[in-house]
Amino acid sequence: MKFLLAFLVLAFSLFLFGCRNTSPANPIISPSPSRSPQSATISPGAELIALAESEEEAREIAEQYGVELVGFSSGVAVFHTEEDPNSVIEKGRQNGWPELALNHTVQGFSN
């Protein structure tokens, strides 16, 4: 009986505390410029990305930031800007606009 009770307590505590999601909410879409990988390059012509519910919302974000919408697929909008992408991101943070992030191409291996 003690073994069954101990097993139930252990199973219940694993259920309560072992199933928490401890990962960041958007690890890919919101990288900090200071944490950018050393081997990453910003994709030319598609420097910025953002999450959007629809293509219409992506167009609204582009208009708000004054950037060009170059693509939208599966909830991810891709934008082009002639300005420094980091300054565009900072302008959005200061104004409380939807968050943009740099669109990085990361190389895992070098020749």
Distance CA 51, CA 23 (A): 18
Distance CA 5, CA 51 (A): 47
What is the pLDDT at residue 67?
Answer: 96
Distance CA 40, CA 97 (A): 26
In a domain, 18, yes or no: no
Distance CA 30, CA 96 (A): 15
The residue range of the domain holding 96 is 34-111
In a domain, 12, yes or no: no
Quick: pLDDT tens for 2-49.
Answer: 667 676 666 656 655 555 555 444 444 444 444 444 456 766 777 899
Distance CA 86, CA 34 (A): 11
DSSP class of 110 = -
In a domain, 26, yes or no: no
Question: How many distinct structural domains can be found in the chain?
Answer: 1
pTM of the model: 0.59
In a domain, 96, yes or no: yes
Find the mean pLDDT for residues 46-74.
95
Higher-scoring residue by pLDDT: 68, 32: 68
In a domain, 27, yes or no: no
In a domain, 20, yes or no: no
For the domain that residue 62 is a member of, what is the CATH number?
A: 3.30.70
Structural contact between residues 100 and 92, judged by C-beta atoms closer than 8 angstroms:
yes
In a domain, 77, yes or no: yes
In a domain, 101, yes or no: yes
